[in-house]
């Protein structure tokens, strides 16, 4: 019997609507470090390339610490002072400046599921629980969820079954009592399957 329904965030509940280099450009301007947009885009691209190599070669998980490292590298490429204070300010502003748009069917679906007495949670690969909760609050969706499970805060990333098992443990149910909905076949479908959950993927939506 299904008691809990879990959702992936990006690509399932909402999509990102602004390029990240635009976000970083705005942050730098706000912090009195004005920089040309094309230079911001190039520096950020190089910093993300470094992170993707780290992830591929060392199996590291995206979290607040790795976000700080990406920001530090990004600033070094721009030849800006990568002092701890500036890095901390950028990391703090980053989730507030990202812009997401909920899909048209997201809130009606969540409302109906709540009316049907299902408990709803989020299981997301992201830097921290704090950041995902900021995104949900900005979209007016946080009220629908009993719990938010985020890879960067617990140390396991989908498709690792441990992130799903941690969610079941937090909700005090068996994995078999959770239906997981996501848009990534490997991370969401195979990950949930390996943990013993029911699973559903919407492959029509692109992951962000």
**Looking at residue 10, what DSSP letter applies?**
B
- Structure confidence at residue 34 (pLDDT): 94
Whether 75 and 111 map to the same domain: the answer is no
What is the mean predicted confidence (pLDDT) over 150-159?
96
* Residue range of the domain that includes 167: 4-15+100-201
Domain count, the chain: 2
Q: What is the DSSP string of 114-129?
A: HHTT-EEEEEE-SS-H
pLDDT category of residue 144 using cuts at 50, 70 and 90: very high
Q: Are residues 118 and 92 in the same domain?
A: no
Domain identity same for 24 and 71: yes
pTM (predicted TM-score): 0.90
Are residues 63 and 91 both part of a single domain? Answer: yes
Name which of 138, 154, 133, 134 is nearest 62 in CA terms.
154
In a domain, 92, yes or no: yes
22-60: pLDDT as tens digits: 999 999 999 999 999 999 999 999 999 999 999 999 989
């Amino acid at each position: 019997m299904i008691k809990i329904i879990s959702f992936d965030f990006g690509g399932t509940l909402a999509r990102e609507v602004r390029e990240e280099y635009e976000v970083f450009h705005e942050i730098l301007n706000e912090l009195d470090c004005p920089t040309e947009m094309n230079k911001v885009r190039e520096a950020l691209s190089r910093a993300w390339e470094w992170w993707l190599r780290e992830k591929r070669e060392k199996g590291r998980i995206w979290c607040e610490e790795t976000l700080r490292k990406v920001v530090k590298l990004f600033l070094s490429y721009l030849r800006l002072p990568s002092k701890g204070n500036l890095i901390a300010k950028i990391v703090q502003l980053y989730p507030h400046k990202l812009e997401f748009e909920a899909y048209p069917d997201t809130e009606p679906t969540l409302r109906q599921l709540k009316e049907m007495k299902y408990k709803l949670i989020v299981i997301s690969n992201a830097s921290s629980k704090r950041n995902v909760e900021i995104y949900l609050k900005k979209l007016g969706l946080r009220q629908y969820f009993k719990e938010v499970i985020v890879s960067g805060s617990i140390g396991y990333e989908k498709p690792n079954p441990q992130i799903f098992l941690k969610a079941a443990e937090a909700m005090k149910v068996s994995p078999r009592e959770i239906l997981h909905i996501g848009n990534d076949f490997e991370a969401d479908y195979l990950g949930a399957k390996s943990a013993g959950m029911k699973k559903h993927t919407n492959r029509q939506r692109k992951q962000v």
